[in-house]
A and B are shown apart, each in its own frame.
Chain A
Amino acid sequence: MYDFSALYEATSVSHAVQLMQEHPDAVLIAGGSDVLIKLREGKLAGAELISIYKLDELREVTIDPDGALRIGPMTSFSHATKSPVLQQYMPVLGEAADTAGGPQLRNVGTVGGNICNGVTSADTASTEVAYDAVLEITGANGVRKLSIHDFYKGPGKVALEKGELLTAILIPKESYENCYGYYIKYAMRNAMDIATIGCSVNVVLSADKQTIQRARIAYGVAGPVPMRARTAEAALAGQPVGEGAIEIVGREVLNDVNPRTSWRASADFRKQIISETARRGLRAAIERAGGVF
């Protein structure tokens, strides 16, 4: 049994908003893979919970009229991986989701929960950061949109106000169109692990596949929150496809990152992996885009 003091089950988004207003100190629980574990640890002991588990309306992946991919935040990792929409337009997100934890966790953990807990190691977060995702947030005053870059406020802290919940993750069409991505999770085990470094790279190549038109690189665990490597991206823009680009990215990403030393890994070790995953991630993304080395 978990030690919580009350459970309120939301039956719709508006009901969830109402419950959050009525119980301002309550903790929102989606799939539970985060909140229930904190309860076991005694960290949230005695808390009130608002469950949005039954909000199946937030479990779909669809395409908006403007071409943006609309990912319901309650979509489980495994459903993101299996989603035909994502497989067609943004397979890298499903691939990243497929590296989280193990199979059972991927059935319960949600893509939205993965960013709302504000954790830098979240496997899907770096890809969403790399694709300039836009977040749709619903509260008592209606719906607002926020760039994912403005969402992270610090470790464990995100820009959700009291009474607000994430209701969609949007990937703009210009972000995924002609764009090919690759995600590398670096961890100590090949399953059931959290990332030591997560690196998501995507590229748009010129029509002749000779030049990098746009490259975007984002990391988990290279800083306190998921982050972009803007210097490296700028250095890559316009570079010819080839080993030179690989050298550039391996070098330049180190100007962008700010990893720390913890008992999990030293900063120097993380830098080694940050550089190497950028090199391998870029190579794989270019190859997916049809570039040849």
Chain B
Amino acid sequence: MVVGKSVKRVDAIDKVTGRARYTDDLADKSALIVKICHSTIAHGMVKSIDTSAAENIPGVVKVITCFDVPNRPFPTAGHPWSTDPHHQDVADRMLLNRHVRYYGDEVAVVIGEDEVAAEQGVRALKVEYDELPFVLDVQEAMQDGAPQLHEEFKNNILDHTGYEVGNYEEAIQEPGLVKIEGWYNTPIVQHCHIENHICFAEEQFGKIVIVSSTQIPHIVRRICGQALGLPWGKVRLIKPYIGGGFGNKQDALYEPLCGYCCQQVGGRLVKLDVSREETFVSNRVRHAIRYHIITYARPDGRFVARRLEAFSNQGAYASHGHGVNAKGAGAFKQIYVDDKATKVDAYTVYTNLPAAGAMRAYGIPQVSFAIESSVEDAAKALGIDSLKLRQMNMMPVGYTDSFSKNVNYFDSLNQCIAKGKAYIDYERKHEEYAKQTGPIRRGVGMAIFWYNTAVWPIALEASSCRMVMNQDGSVQLEIGETEIGQGADTAFAQMVADTVGVPFDKVHVLTTQDTDVTPFGTGAYASRQTYVAGFAIHNIGTQLKNKVLKYAEYMTGKPAETLDMAEGVVFEKETQEQLMTIDELATSALYSLDQAEQFSAEGTTQIKTNAYSFGCGFVEVEVDIPMCKVKLLKMINVHDCGRLINPQLAEAQVHGGMSMAIGYGMGEQLLFDPKTGKPLNNNLLDYKLCTMMDHPDLKAEFVENFEPTSPFGTKALGEPPTCPGAPAIRNAILNATGVSVNQTPVTPHILFERFKEEGLL
């Protein structure tokens, strides 16, 4: 059996030799180049665009402006489509915009014979605007009289959800309660996959064929169809290797525009390759969410009632919209369970900033920062050890979510905490470090989280796959779930090998997905793929194996039910007698003069369950007070994501999430000029993505409780590693200095202000 083993990635050799071909590597040199003209104001109407100078530049093939495109709004979020109009994503996008809503909005494109001509064309466009007032702050945007971005959304509120468990107002009347209150702010950050989004399009076979760096080929096909007014089957979307996504490419970014440009030049090959600077602003970002948390606790630490208000900054367009804030708001009542009442209001609000969409862990890093900071603050106010406070109030074993029917089967949180605190020597240090004086001090901090696997029952969870056996008994897997760097193809190959009963090296995953060939699947998001594909692979793989055994029955005369296959050998179950290899069987079957057959199986598998994934993070820091600097000394994440399909790859994926969390906690934020809405640091020099020198060694550990709903015992791991790091760092700084910082990232600038306020400087 190969599930559970650290086999090497199936794509590793291609990637260390340069043979892995990404979108740009596949684009023919003859492609025309599309460059985008972005708005240089945060809000207004395009009055006119003078294209004459641009059109006269040698090499400029065509200019298309916002006045040329069809009036056909479309949604962009990479959600499964809903056939119920009330659950469909908000269609507020146009290919190019007359009403520009953020600094960087798309107003025109220039198609050139090369990038220099196209860029010269963009610079030569003369765009005139009627400027409108703009608003960047989420709560200001909700005020009456604030600049209005989309007519149909009053006070810019895209959506609001609220819930109340118990009766909050009654609960807080209990005598003797301690009230702890805080506001917590999270920043706008960007995904920063190293390959920028890129796509190219050409008309072939009466279709538009688009090759794109996307996480969601089938969804993008649908959105391109909607945006271009084409039957969806007239769009063919091909996804080769992609250089990371992290949620940004879980959106239709520029595929519709690229397809449109292709149509406008007679179906010729056009390539749209955006710069890093454009990627930061004109793709998607993580929602900045502002939280207000009030906790009422008994002096012994038991939470009686808590209140959450969450204000999510959507930016200019809906993209994934309220789903992100709503997910965090839902987590509030689950990660900690109040004795009497929980009340939540969550708003998602348009502002004149880049559109926020999906980003690794979809609202949970944001809400984890707020919740885990508030718990630490509560512990301080109550004079109770914060770890004990967590353990007293966190989701208990046996907890069942009324909506998803998820069950907390095991004592995962406590098991994870035990490993994490042992590695850091947390309890001893937490007590010792609280007593320090002097300019350089150390601190330890931690945070816990839970994460849903996949999206059932909010949306569809179905996975389609096809397995075809070759003459030598090897198997091709085609599946709608998508490799984006995380190692999905390797995990799938491992599951196929064990299910069908062939050796790992006899499984070939077709990594390039083509919507005309690859069975339907919704793609890489929601930490769903290993879980969801596990059902599909188990189902279809079993069907394939049964066909093989049926053929073995034909060959041997022994009933199929008495036979089995493992590691490519067909054997009799009772006697364990080896009857033949799959190589022999497959060759015989394909070339049989009597009963030639290629074994294949395919179909769609419904997944109507969901699973809680758990974990925690611990860090140790050193704070240099006069320099306002924090150095990370140690960091560990511990996860219960069920049984590990591939421990080495799981560990590697956790490292990556921890790194993203370090950036979220200490350095990354996209800044905008408050006077103009112009982005200030949309490049990799000024946006402080961690380098190798900004990290300590990263430690990843696991608790493996076999997830009962999954045929392979697995559940979410892709996104969860990003959740606990930032609040753990914030809490460690509090331990070191006694200074709480209620916004992330905790930069030297913020520390300087806070240290001054607290008299440390």
Contact = CB atoms under 8 A, between A and B. Distances in A.
A194 B683 CA distance: 13
B123 A1 contact: no
B691 interface: yes
Contact of A186 (B119, B120, B627, B761): B627
Contacts of B693: 189-191
Interface in B682-700: 684-686, 688, 690-694
A189 B691 contact: yes
A40 B691 CA distance: 23
A263 B694 contact: no
A272 B749 contact: no
A269 B752 contact: yes
Contacts of B690: 189
Interface in B109-161: 114-116, 119-120, 123
Nearest to B439: A276
B752 A190 contact: no
Contacts of B688: 188-189, 193
Given A188-B688, A194-B685, A272 B123 contact: no
B460 interface: no
Contacts of B686: 264
B680 A263 contact: yes
Contact of A276 (B115, B119, B627, B671): B627
B398 interface: no
Interface string A253-280: 0000000000111101100110010000
A266 B673 contact: no
A269 B667 CA distance: 16
B694 A189 contact: yes
B502 to A, nearest CB: 45
A273 B114 CA distance: 47
Contacts of B671: 263
A1 B752 contact: no
B738 interface: no
Interface residues of B, number: 29
Given A186-B627, A190-B693, A45 B120 contact: yes
Nearest to B666: A188
Contacts of A194: 685
Contact of A1 (B115, B681, B691, B694): B115
A192 interface: yes
A48 interface: no
A21 to B, nearest CB: 28
A276 B760 CA distance: 14
B691 A188 contact: no
A261 B748 CA distance: 15
Interface residues of A, number: 26
A276 B690 CA distance: 24
Interface in A143-175: none
B628 A193 contact: no
B752 A188 contact: no
A42 B628 contact: no
A3 interface: yes
Contacts of A188: 667, 688, 747-748
Contacts of B667: 188-189
Nearest to A263: B680
A276 B752 CA distance: 13
Nearest to B690: A189
Interface string B745-761: 00111001000000001
Contacts of B680: 263
A150 B76 CA distance: 57
A272 B626 contact: yes
B386 to A, nearest CB: 29
Interface string B181-214: 0000000000000000000000000000000000
B685 A193 contact: yes
B673 A269 contact: no
A102 interface: yes
Given A1-B114, A189-B688, A194-B685, A266 B749 contact: yes
Contacts of A264: 686
B744 to A, nearest CB: 15
B254 to A, nearest CB: 20
Nearest to A277: B627
A42 B274 CA distance: 15
Interface in B526-558: none
B665 to A, nearest CB: 13
A273 B691 contact: no
Interface in B487-536: none
A42 B119 CA distance: 8
A263 B752 contact: no
Given A3-B116, A268-B752, A102 B691 contact: yes
B692 A3 contact: no
A272 B694 contact: no
Interface in B666-721: 667, 671, 673, 680-681, 684-686, 688, 690-694
Most buried by B among A45, A192, A194, A265: A192
Nearest to A3: B116
Given A102-B691, A188-B667, A276-B626, A263 B114 contact: no
Nearest to A102: B691
Interface string A5-45: 00000000000000000000000000000000000101001
A273 B119 contact: no
Contacts of B120: 3, 45-46
A188 B694 CA distance: 10
Given A1-B114, A1-B115, A272-B628, A192 B691 contact: yes
Nearest to B745: A188
B114 A269 contact: no
A191 B752 contact: no
A150 B673 CA distance: 34
Nearest to B681: A263
B54 to A, nearest CB: 14
Interface in A174-230: 186, 188-194, 196
Contacts of A273: 627-628
Contact of B673 (A193, A263, A265): A263
A193 B685 CA distance: 6
Contacts of B628: 269, 272-273
Nearest to B695: A190
Nearest to B277: A41
Given A188-B747, A189-B691, A272 B685 contact: no
Contact of B761 (A193, A266, A272): A272
B329 to A, nearest CB: 32
A191 B667 CA distance: 13
A61 B685 CA distance: 30
A190 B627 CA distance: 14
B281 to A, nearest CB: 14
Contacts of A192: 684-685, 691
6 contacts: A3-B119, A45-B123, A102-B691, A188-B747, A188-B748, A190-B694
Interface of A: 1-3, 40, 42, 45-46, 102, 186, 188-194, 196, 263-266, 268-269, 272-273, 276
Given A188-B747, A265-B749, 13 more contacts: A2-B116, A3-B116, A3-B119, A188-B688, A189-B693, A191-B692, A192-B691, A193-B688, A264-B686, A268-B752, A272-B628, A273-B628, A276-B626
